[in-house]
Structure 1
Amino acid sequence: MTIRQIIDNITDFDTIIIHRHIRPDPDALGSQGGLKELIKATFPEKRVFAVGEEDPSLKFLVEMDDIPDHLYEHALVIACDTANYPRIDDQRFNLGRKLLKIDHHPNLDNYGDINWVNTEASSTSEMVYELYLQGREYGWKLNDRAARLLYAGIVGDTGRFLFPNATERTFSYAGDLVNYSFNRAEIYDGLYSMEEKLMRLKGYILQNSKLTPEGTCIVQLNKDLLKKYNITASETSRLVGVPGDLKGIRAWVFFIEENDHIRVRLRSKGPIINEIAAKYNGGGHPMASGATVYSWEEADHLAEDLKQACEAFNKK
């Protein structure tokens, strides 16, 4: 019923503005951009926009639209891949006529006039493809541009289909999408190839990573270190999976210092970490989350919480 309501609302509105979460990852951009292209292919007469701050490292996937406030007055707003409304990029989302939520994170914040949340989906991009499958009954069309973005989103959130969230359904949908005309090699190169400076920082992380008795790894990247390697905080997202190959690791955290806060990226191979992220101004998946702290002392507290979560997991 919820999917049918989303289809009906998209059909009814002439202006549709699509948002996603701050600090976008491939699934955020894939679901946002893929939904935009899906709607445009089906309803070429509609005005459809994707908004939010650009991430230079992911600009090869999709570029954002710069739109004035007045377009929101009669618009349907859709937030993709965003668990709680403070993390929606571009806070003008509340200026629209109606707000829809499409997401696969735990539903901690039940915002929106209609919300479709499926925590069993590998990604929000997978959900957008499912929206298309149900929309075909009403004449919906998927083009090569939409397929490319949805495939990229699925690849990103499943770690190239290596994570356990990649289900039989995920592989089936991905199999459908690769029948469209787009360059898969370009997607993989764009998502996973590294510049030399990133490779050098990766070497630093490997040389300085230590595994605690509980199975945690703490990576601290302060401003001086980022300056030394000429790397932005956003670019470090390419390296967050590096400690995952350590034998015996349970969970790990990256602390990346910015001007007025410290960005936190959490990953796990068992312990639930999104509850820790929620405690520190963040959220996400049980095995992949993000947060924000405002001092290295607060970062130490988060690291201690992560160690305790790993210790409790080890006792099970």
Structure 2
Amino acid sequence: MKQHIIDKIKEYDTIILHRHVRPDPDAYGSQGGLAEIIKATFPEKNVYTVGQEEPTLYFMRRLDQIEDSVYDEALVIVCDTANQARICDQRYKLGKEVIKIDHHPNEDPYGDMRWVDVDAAACSQMIYDLYKTSDGQLKMSKEAARLLYAGIVSDTGRFLYPSTTIETMIYAGELMQYDFNRQELFNNMYEKDAHVLKIEGYILQNFEMDESGVAEVRLTKELLARFNATQAEASQLVSILNGVKGIQAWVYFIEEDDQIRVRFRSKGAVINGLAMKYGGGGHPLAAGASVYSWEEAENVLTDLKVLISEK
């Protein structure tokens, strides 16, 4: 499959790369990293990265604004996106062919060609694997290395998550050999503004955990406004409860104007099935969904408690 993808990249003059809505560093890293590899290898090709920009990730990449006509006779590659509904910029359908590259469970096998590896710790790891196994057909650049390294570091929780493998560490070590400023990258990824630290403190002081080890955090629009925090900034704090002794699984409810974002995390129980019940999905231990009322949020919490009690 990897060779088929390389052959398709060689075939097209215009290549447009997409990723999922509400992007994280792995979404940007895989999308931008592959774009930079293609540019380094085929400088004559027209390569674009598109989607709604996330201001907290400006340090990684700024995206392109293109007309619909650019999709004519173009190859579209969608990175790090499990299902079609979550593809950012639905114009991906206008391309001549679509390739899916992803490491989430393949519940929605869209596209003309698919490479899905659920054992990969990050989609950025898959992109580096594509380069590494190309036997010189693809070229790496320091910018591509910077983006892929950021994606791997982020999606492995700085190599702490169980998804981290020996291969992950080897690939990260090889990427570190390229000439980019890792300290600057880490500062951009993990330094927090004072208002974000304050809401982090609020979460640590106010989360609720029951006797079964299920915890919840509710961040209403009013609370976010009180701390001058965005929904994207709040979502970055989902993993901070990981160090709580006795915690088995937890859920964040983050209220937006038209929905309540649901973010699940687990230390052992598989929770992506529960996310799928509410129209979402994700990894076995990290998943998300959306609900549209606090009553529905209560149902989510009840279902999570039942799931953990049956574990």
Normalising TM by the smaller chain, what interval?
over 0.9
1:52, distance to aligned residue in structure 2 (A): 0.7
Matched, 1:227 2:218: no
CA deviation after TM superposition for structure 1 residue 145, in Å? 0.2
Whole-angstrom distance in 2 between the partners of 1:189 and 1:308: 40
Say if 2:269 is the partner of 1:286: no
Unaligned 5+ residue runs, structure 1?
none
Aligned partners of 1:48 and 1:260: how far apart in 2?
34
Partner secondary structure for residue 146 of structure 2: helix
Residue type of the alignment partner of 2:307: A
Deviations, residues 38-60 of structure 1 (Å, cap 9, x unaligned)? 00000000000011111111111
Matched with 1:5 is 4
d(CA) in 1 for partners of 2:24, 2:177: 24
Q: 1:79, CA displacement in angstroms?
A: 0.5
Alignment partners' CA distance in 1, 2:211 and 2:243: 16
Q: Secondary structure of 1:102's partner?
A: strand
1:271-290 C-alpha deviation (Å, 9 max, x unpaired): 11111111112111011111
**Deviations for 1:97-142, whole angstroms, at most 9, x for unmatched residues?**
000000000110111110000011111000000110122342x110
Residue 238 of structure 1 and its aligned partner are, at CA, apart by: 2.2
For 2:12 and 2:22, the matched residues in 1 are separated by 28
Distance 1:42 1:197 in 2: 43
The DSSP-based 3-state class of the residue aligned with 1:265 is strand
Instruction: Give matches, 1:51-90, under 5 Å.
Output: 51-90=50-89
User: Which residue number corresponds to residue 36 of structure 1?
Assistant: 35
Structure 2 equivalent of residue 266 of structure 1:
264
**Amino acid paired to 1:168:** I
Q: Distance in 1 between matches of 2:153 and 2:221?
A: 31
Instruction: Return 128-137 or 7-16, whichever deviates more.
Output: 128-137
Q: Whole-Å Cα distance in 1 between the matches of residues 190 and 88 of structure 2?
A: 24
CA RMSD of aligned residues (A): 0.8
* Percent sequence identity over aligned pairs: 54
How far does residue 9 in structure 1 lie from its aligned partner after superposition? 0.2
Partners of 1:177 and 1:285 in 2: how far apart?
A: 25
Residue 156, structure 1, aligned to residue 154, structure 2: yes
* Length-normalised TM-score, structure 1: 0.97
How far is 1:188 from its partner? Answer: 1.4
The 5-angstrom pairing of residues 9-24 of structure 1 reads 9-24=8-23
Structure 2: distance between partners of 1:118 and 1:259:
35
The residue type equivalent to 2:190 in the other structure is Y
By how many angstroms is 1:195 displaced?
0.8
Partner-residue secondary structure (3-state), 1:218? strand
SS at match of 1:241: helix
Asked whether the 8 Å contact 1:209–1:219 carries over to 2, the reply is: yes
Q: Which residue of 2 aligns with 1:236?
A: 234
Aligned to 2:24: 25
* Counterpart in the other structure of 1:116: 115
Q: Please say which of residues 222-231 and 301-310 is displaced more in the overlay.
A: 301-310
| Whole-angstrom distance in 1 between the partners of 2:284 and 2:81 | 15
Partners of 2:159 and 2:15 in 1: CA distance: 31
Segments ≥4 residues shifted beyond 4 Å: none
Q: CA deviation at 1:252?
A: 0.7
What SS does the aligned partner of 1:235 have? helix
* 1:295 corresponding residue in structure 2: 293
1:184-243 CA-to-partner distances (Å, cap 9, x unmatched) read: 112211111111111111111111112111211110000100010001111112211111
CA positional deviation for 1:10:
0.3
Structure 2's unaligned 5+ residue stretches are none
Structure 2 length normalisation: TM-score? Answer: 0.98
Deviations 1:80-101 (A, max 9, x none): 0001111100000000000000
Q: Does 1:181 align with 2:179?
A: yes
| Alignment match, 1:142 | 140
Contact 1:192 1:238 in 2 (8 A): no
Provide the secondary structure at the position in 1 that maps to 2:155.
Answer: helix
SS at structure 2 position matched to 1:147: helix
Farther off after superposition, 181-190 or 30-39: 181-190
Distance across 2 between alignment mates of 1:312 and 1:61:
42
Q: Secondary structure, in 3 states, of the residue corresponding to 1:281?
A: coil
Which SS does the other structure have where 2:269 is aligned? Answer: coil
Counterpart residue type for residue 274 of structure 2 = I
Which stretch has the larger CA shift, 220-229 or 301-310?
301-310
Give the residue type in structure 1 aligned to 2:56: S
Q: Is residue 2:200 matched to residue 1:209?
A: no
